[in-house]
Amino acid sequence: MPEKNPAGFSLRIVRDPEQAKAELQRLVQRTAHAQQRDAQERVDTILSEVRTRGDAAVVEFTERFDGFRPEPVAVPEEKLEHSWRNLPANLQDALELAHRRITDFHQRQRPADIVTEGPYGERLGRRWRPVDRAGLYVPGGRASYPSTVLMNAVPAKVAGVNEVVICSPAGRDGEVNPVVLAASHLAGVRTVFRLGGAQAIAAMAYGTESVPKVDVISGPGNLYVTLAKQAVYGQVGIDSLAGPSEVLVIADQSAKPDQVAADLLAQAEHDPLAAAVLITTNPALAEQITHEIELQLEGHPRRDICEASINNWGLVVVCDDLESCAALSDSFAPEHLELLVERPQALAERIQHAGAIFLGPWSPEAVGDYLAGPNHTLPTCGAARFSGALSVETFMRHTSLIGFNRAALEATGSAVQELAGSEGLHSHAESVRRRLS
């Protein structure tokens, strides 16, 4: 059985490899512990009502869940600029630095069109174009995230999206967080709706009298937001189905306990469902980490959230070697992977599944969250096995271009007819035969 440490919280320590795999699998499935069935029923009702009644339903649900009537739904555009002008200079500087770095990195992601010529002179290609309108969801509730504004708005703008709108929950006073509004202004977004939850997703997916229908919805949210995004996929594109956040730290004897503890807590403070995992080859670090976390929790402004996260979803695993650490990490496919080891680059080459890898002691996850450049919207709960970060391509779509000439059709037409015949599709074959006859 996992060991429990005597402290103000319980942090499991596992030494058996099979038990470690079982514990990591439990963490991957942690969202199943939420009341998804009841939540899905509520989400379905909200989506149906907003689709049918538009603004009236949006206003009613916002008043019920958020405690104010959003009339009007949109934040006046001048308020965005006012919020920016009234930010402290140091925060303005920090946001501008983040905006520059994120923009620079995402500009390098722009996909190139493919234009090529086949063996008979036929033209083949793939052309990229931005979607017309993107809707960004920026969470509120426990905290507000101007970093989420930048991480979603920048790639949409770099993609060339003509119209970008944001939905973000307001407080009971009806006010959206002013730093979120300021970041929106900095990113070139001019339309912010003070809406949250499933009703915001429904409004962007279906369109209402006030909220335009979008082509792609991106941005993280709570269970209701995620279920709503899942339900409207197909009506609109979505970036991903983000679950609660997670970090996995691989550490050897070179790692400093206080830094490891701080990095685990940096994840735990997000949400009671956040997972913070340490896999180490250093048994002494495994024994020290609980005490170090306890020290850093003294006076912590989000202590209750941290303790709930660590009690339920915290884990320490002791391995014999870094190869075993990497194998366990790949089985978990973490959203964030920190390599606090002597040779991080070499270990990174061994890793196959991770949303983002942070190399060495000078690369805490926080730099990726805010301003390193790569996107912080990452796959969670094992989805890094098959997907990656939000990118410029999220807000683009590609079109194939096929331009055969007579020579190309003559050279390949018989094969097309054979294949069409094998599938029983007479007119497919006939469309080629008539051109060649």
Catalytic residues: 335-336
What is each CA distance from 69 to 74, 83, 169, 194, in whole angstroms? 12, 22, 12, 10
Q: d(Cα 45, Cα 251) in Å, to the nearest integer?
A: 47
Half-sphere exposure of 104 (CA within 13 A, CB side): 9
Instruction: Count CA within 13 A, CB hemisphere, residue 246.
Output: 32
**DSSP percent split of the chain into helix, strand, coil, nearest 5:** 50, 15, 35
C-alpha distance from residue 231 to each of 98, 208, 269 (Å): 33, 18, 29
Q: Name the 3-class secondary structure at 66.
A: helix
Distances (CA, A) of 232 to 94, 164, 237, 244: 35, 19, 8, 20
Distance from C-alpha of 217 to C-alpha of 207, rounded to nearest angstrom? 12
Question: What token pair was written down for 1?
Answer: 């059985």
**Strand, helix or coil for residue 299:** coil
Longest dimension (CA), the chain: 85
Q: In the block, which residue shows the tokens 């006010």?
A: 175
Which helix (H) or strand (E) element contains residue 13?
strand 12-14
Residues 6+ apart with CB under 8 A from 41: none
Secondary structure (DSSP) of 321-343: SHHHHHHHHHHH--SEEEEESS-
Enter the DSSP assignment of 167.
E
317: tokens are: 């695993």
